[in-house]
Amino acid sequence: MIIVNSVFDLRATIHTWKQDGLRVALVATMGNLHAGHLKLVNSAKQKADKVVVSIFVNPTQFGVNEDFASYPRTEQEDQLKLATENTDLLFLPAITDIYSANAKTTVNVSGLSDSYCGASRPGHFSGVATIVCKLFNLVQPDIAVFGLKDFQQFTVIKTMVNDLNIPIELMGVDTQRESNGLAMSSRNNYLTDSERQLAPQLYQTLCVAQTAILAGQQSYAAIEQQAIQTLKKAGFTPDYFTVCNSHDLSSATQQDKELVILAAAKLGTTRLIDNVYFSL
């Protein structure tokens, strides 16, 4: 596995691959890799000749009082995991390699960035869109692979790619889960032992709501309210639980056939997100 820190070395290596007619995939991460990330790498390997993984804890997607300073950084362990998966190149830039001191340009996907997680974390999705756009420009991949645990993030990126005519194929990969259903996330490390026992109830509540809709229950508002009450009783502090049109994340109507249920809730100090998507 090639490990590069500089933009120059990254571009030089990829230029050589492109000259040889090789197809390149990108998996963008913030490190602290788990089986979900490695699933993305393996999915990328099925679609491309070379796989680039970036590890960059992006400061612009963290809000005030969020966990940028304490976000888990496990660089050595991550390198070993990626090498085991036969990753072709690991890009490990410093903040100064990505953001100039006087940078004035950001990318914002209007509307989609302002609801759900965007409402609770102002500026978050602008930070996400900006760093992803930068990585697309740096790597110039043929395909980029993202997990669907953060369905809203994937929708924001997909919209950005479409709106800006970025010539990249996007691939979404299903959420990797623990045996108890808990969606794998680096932030699960913040959970106490007792919280980790409770955490799978977020996914269970999503599945109950999905089952109700598939069984023909038509009051999405009632399903949402019941789910919020269930989470509160279990010890969560719900942020949102919403049935949406899976294409544009608008509130679902009875005419919509492609749905996603988005949920976010705090358990102790840890903010968890999850979703289920399905067709009627």
Residue 3 — φ and ψ, nearest 5°?
A: -120, 125
Q: Tell me whether strands 50-55 and 89-91 are parallel, antiparallel or unpaired.
A: parallel
Residue ranges of the alpha helices (H) in the chain? 7-19, 35-47, 75-84, 95-98, 117-120, 124-139, 151-163, 193-198, 201-214, 220-234
Task: Exactly one of 15, 34, 37, 247 is catalytic; name it.
Answer: 37
Residue with tokens 């996400």: 128
**Among all chains, which residue has been given the structure tokens 């992803």?**
132
Residue 34 annotated among the catalytic residues of the structure? no
Tokens 């790619």 sit on residue:
161
Other CB atoms within a 10 A radius of the CB of residue 113 amount to 27
Q: Which residues are catalytic?
A: 37
